[in-house]
Amino acid sequence: MSSLIQLNHISKRYEIDNNLIFTALKDINITLNKGEFASLVGPSGSGKSTLMHIIGLLDKQSEGDVIIDGRNINQMTDNSLSTLRNEFVGFVFQQFNLITKLTVLENVLLPTVYARKKIAYNVQKRGFEILKRFGISDKANSYPNKISGGQQQRVAIARSLIMEPKLILADEPTGNLDTKSGEEIMKLLKQLNKEEDITVLIVTHEEDIAAQTKRKIHIVDGELKT
C-alpha cells in the first residue's frame, strides 16, 4: 500500500494573548495509506479537529511537513491548496454545512462550480445518480431546511463525492444524528471505502464509532497515544 498522506513532526501552536502560547498538537507523525478506513479518536479538546483541519488543508501547521500524494503542501500557494481541497478532499461535517439557499442538488454540485480541471462526466447526471443511490433523489429540488438531519448528512456525503476525491474527512459525522441515522451514515461511509476504495478518516470522540473502523488513531492533549 502506498501512502496517501504523510504527517511528519506536525505541531500547532496558537498565541492566545499576552504572549500566552497554547500548544494544540505536539510532534505528530502519521501515515495514512490509500484505501484505509481509519478513525482519529480523542476526547474533546484533544486536538483531533485541529489535526483534521490540517489534513484537510483548511488550517496550517506551525511546524512539520504535510505530504499529500507525494507533494509537500508547505510549498503550495493558496490557489493550489484551494484546488487540492476541491479535487482531493471531500469534507463531511458534524453540522452538515449545507448552504441553505441552494437546493439539495445545487449543494451537491457546488464543488464543481469551483473546479479548475475539466470534468469528463455530466455533473448534473452524476449528482442525481449519487442522490438516487443514497435514497434521496426525490429531495433533489428541496431546500436543506426541509429535510431531516440524516438526509442532510447524506446530501453532505453526496457533495463530498461529486469531485471523485481520494480522501473523505468526516468530522463527527454522526454527532448531530439519532442512533438509527448515525448507523446508516456509518454504513454508507464503510460502503464507499469498500466499493470505491476511497480513503476515509473519521474524527470522533465516541469509542463505538471508532470501533467500526479498521484503524484507530488515539490522540490526547495534542499527542498521539500508542
Partner 1 sequence: MNFFAFILKSAFFDFSRNKGRTFLTSLGILIGVLSVVLLTAFGLGLRAYIEKQFENLGSNLVRVVPGQVLSGGGFSNASSAFMSIKFEEDDVRNLERIRELKMTVPVYSRTVTATSLNEKKSATLYASSEGIFIALNLENEYGKFFTASDVEKRSKVVVIGPKLADNLFLSRRKAIGESIKIEGQKYTVIGVVKSIGGGFGGPDFDTFVYMPYRTAYTINTDKTFMAIILQAKTEEDIPTIKRKVEQILLKSYEKEDFSIIEQEELLSAINSIFSIINTVLVAIAAISLLVGGIGIMNIMYVTVTERIREIGIRRALGARRSDILWQFLTQSVILSLIGGAAGLLLSAIIVLFISRYFPAYIDLQSVILALGVSSGIGIIFGVFPAKKAADLSPIEAIRYE
Q: Should residue 76 be labelled a site residue for partner 1 when binding is judged by CB under 8 A?
A: no
Among 65, 69, 87, 223, binds partner 1 (CB under 8 A): 87
CB atoms < 10 A from the CB of 201, how many?
Answer: 26
Classify 70 in phi/psi space as left (phi over 0), alpha (psi -120 to 50) or beta. Answer: left
Closest to 127 (Cα-Cα) out of 164, 93, 152: 164
Cβ distance to partner 1 smaller for residue 210 or 222: 222
Cβ distance to partner 1 smaller for residue 139 or 159: 159
* HSE toward the beta carbon, residue 129, CA cutoff 13 A: 8
Stretch that binds partner 1, among 8-16, 87-95, 188-196, 201-209 (CB under 8 A): 87-95
Q: Should residue 109 be labelled a site residue for partner 1 when binding is judged by CB under 8 A?
A: yes
Cβ distance to partner 1 smaller for residue 86 or 174: 86
Are the C-beta atoms of 212 and 174 separated by less than 8 Å?
Answer: no
* CA–CA gap between residue 162 and residue 172 (Å, rounded): 21
Q: Should residue 210 be labelled a site residue for partner 1 when binding is judged by CB under 8 A?
A: no
Q: Which residues contact 25 (CB under 8 A, 6 or more apart)?
A: 10, 11, 12, 47, 50, 51, 54, 61, 222, 223
Measure the CA angle with vertex 39, ends 38 and 42; round to 5°: 155
Q: Should residue 69 be labelled a site residue for partner 1 when binding is judged by CB under 8 A?
A: no
Cβ distance to partner 1 smaller for residue 3 or 142: 142
Q: Should residue 59 be labelled a site residue for partner 1 when binding is judged by CB under 8 A?
A: yes
Q: Should residue 126 be labelled a site residue for partner 1 when binding is judged by CB under 8 A?
A: no
Cβ distance to partner 1 smaller for residue 89 or 210: 89
Binding residues (CB under 8 A) for partner 1: these are 53, 56, 58-59, 78-79, 82-83, 85-87, 91, 93, 97-99, 101-102, 106, 109-111, 113-115, 159, 163
